[in-house]
A and B are shown apart, each in its own frame.
Chain A
Amino acid sequence: MTSNRLALAAFLVALAAVPAFVHSGYLLHVMILIFLNVMLATSMWLLGITQLISFGQAGFVFIGAMTSAMLTKDLGISFWVALPVAGVMSALIAAPVGRLSLRVRGVYFFLVTLAFGEVVRGIFAYFQVPFGGWYGVRDIPPPSPHWLFTPLDKVPFYYLGLVLVVLTCWVIWRISRSWFGEVLWGIRESELLASSVGIDVTGYKLVAFIISAFVAGLAGSFYANYVGYISPLIFDFTYSVNILIFVVVGGFGSLAGPISGAVVLTIIPEVFRATGKYQMLIFGLILVFSMLAMPDGITGALHRFQLRRARRAT
């Protein structure tokens, strides 16, 4: 076992121990939000390896959330069934959407995915039955068993979120290190060369897009049954942009990028919550300065710092 693995294990144990020391519902809520955002950021990152950026991620989160909400609330199906179904639903819709939007390149791909997110929102907002229209869906039941998951106790949700985020990160890490991931990194380096050695570039991008949507759907399902309320006002364009910002600020270079980005950028607005109306102003300033100071993101800046120190040491 390397020291890295030991450190990771210690970190996970520490995370598991948090509810034993932290009794503030608010702080646990922030932690749960971090888990959600890390899931979303890593899902975006997998697609981002191939230099694709989707502005429609909120659409897949919303589809997952709506699937889960309707299954658990209207049909009375258990959350534990609804969770994977929500992921699969997002993935199923991602297949044709990805197939179509990958026909265009560069900025047009952004626009098509952006439009997709808005279409999803529009459809859910337009149909009051069965989607609840602009009012959304409220009173989505928490997961079973009900004696464990009560709306007032955050601890079970904390552990649910922790398991989901650790699983997501592990799976995405394994994928990024597999041959499939190697191909994605190759596509990032040169699409032309990749296809000249027999790689079906569009096919690989499509699979990455579908996996990314699947994870977004899972996160949406968790969101719906944790918060208990979803609406088209939540999963709008800025929701997608936020996910993107997590990855950009964190850095695309490794999985640590989206994770650190999501953690830092979930905490910062909370720290400045007390400043009231200046919260977003400060957040924005921090974003601008972070992009100026760390163009390769947090992980990129750390990497460069380590390199410089190593050079000075020799």
Chain B
Amino acid sequence: MSLLRIAGLTCRFGGLLAVNDVTLTVEPRAIHGLIGPNGAGKTTTFNLISGVLKPTAGRVVFDGADITGVPMHRLVKRGLVRTFQHSQLFPAFTVFRNVLLALHSHTGFSTLGGFFGSIAERRKRAELAHEAQRILEFVGLADRADHLAGDLPHGFQRLLQVAVGLAPKPRLLLLDEPVAGLNHGDVDRMMELVRSLRDKQGVTVVLVEHNMKAVMGVCDRVSVLQFGKLIAEGSAQEVTQNPTVIEAYLGVYDDAS
């Protein structure tokens, strides 16, 4: 059974159809790419899936349950986590504290839980500290655990974002342009990390990306959006040879003019 299924997803902002009747499925343990030119509706699709926006029409089904319009913080417990296009971090926190707080959903604390520095809370914190350290080692940030997140170089900030997204132990991780603004070396490292998310942690990944090389190297399946519509889907190979996709990216030479 597919892990994520979106059917007829539509989002209208006034006169603009940002996402127009998009239907796609993501299989478990896949790395699924979502590509398209600027303004194609990729991030909006993410926002619709993750409950930041409510769709005008259509359904989002995650692991057999309808999650259309369920707010983001509730999806985390079900195992769906997303990251953001622009580095969203707790900038004044250390790298370690960023990941520690991201483990919030494992505390089991209700809103009032962990209120008063009780013994139970301190024990929990020690447990989580161990876990945070493990995650930092996994993404390769362990030696920078004490740095302030806001002071990190951009490449490490993106890695930290993945670490924060990984902390709630998602089954499905939505990565919004994880390699935006990274140089070649960092892109390769990030793609290596994305692959190991799937291979070592069993996380299914959907990623929005502009960097074609990155997408082609890592994605099992790619969906292409243009003007909010799904125009192609298939393996990376198939999609790059699809004439509609080439046209969407490069335009067509118009003989008549």
**In the complex, chain B residues whose CB is within 8 Å of the CB of A182:** 97, 100-101
Give the docked Cα–Cα distance between A24 and B89 (Å).
53
Q: How far is the CB of B54 from chain A (nearest CB, A)?
A: 15
Give the docked Cα–Cα distance between A287 and B91 (Å).
30
Q: Is A189 an interface residue (CB 8 A)?
A: yes
Q: How far is the CB of B63 from chain A (nearest CB, A)?
A: 16
Q: Is the CB of A183 within 8 A of B71?
A: no
**In the complex, chain A residues whose CB is within 8 Å of the CB of B97:** 182
Q: Is the CB of B77 within 8 A of A198?
A: yes
Give the docked Cα–Cα distance between A180 and B115 (Å).
5
Give the docked Cα–Cα distance between A182 and B98 (Å).
10
Q: Is the CB of B84 within 8 A of A180?
A: no
B7-15, B104-112, B219-227, B238-246 - the one binding chain A: B104-112
Q: How far is the CB of B238 from chain A (nearest CB, A)?
A: 32
Q: Is B114 an interface residue (CB 8 A)?
A: yes
Q: Is the CB of B88 within 8 A of A185?
A: no
Sort chain B's interface into a size bin. Answer: 35 or more
Q: Is A192 an interface residue (CB 8 A)?
A: yes
Choose one: B50, B109, B164; the contact of A193 (CB below 8 Å). B164
Q: Is A21 an interface residue (CB 8 A)?
A: no
Q: How far is the CB of A89 from chain B (nearest CB, A)?
A: 20
**Given A179-B107, A179-B121, A192-B88, A197 and B81 touching (CB < 8 A)?**
yes
Q: Is the CB of A199 within 8 A of B73?
A: yes
Q: Is the CB of A197 within 8 A of B104?
A: yes
Q: In chain A between 175 and 210, which residues have their CB closer than 8 angstroms to a CB of chain B? A: 175, 177-180, 182-183, 185-186, 189-190, 192-201, 203-204, 206-207
Q: Is A303 an interface residue (CB 8 A)?
A: no
Q: Is A304 an interface residue (CB 8 A)?
A: no
Q: Is the CB of A200 within 8 A of B73?
A: yes
Which residues of A are in contact with B by a Cβ distance under 8 Å? 174-175, 177-180, 182-183, 185-186, 189-190, 192-201, 203-204, 206-207
Which residues of B are in contact with A by a Cβ distance under 8 Å? 50, 71-74, 76-77, 81-84, 88-93, 97, 100-105, 107, 109, 111-117, 121, 124-125, 164-165, 167-168
For the A-B complex with A192-B84, A198-B168 known, give 5 more contacts whose Cβ atoms are closer than 8 Å.
A179-B113, A193-B90, A194-B101, A195-B71, A197-B103
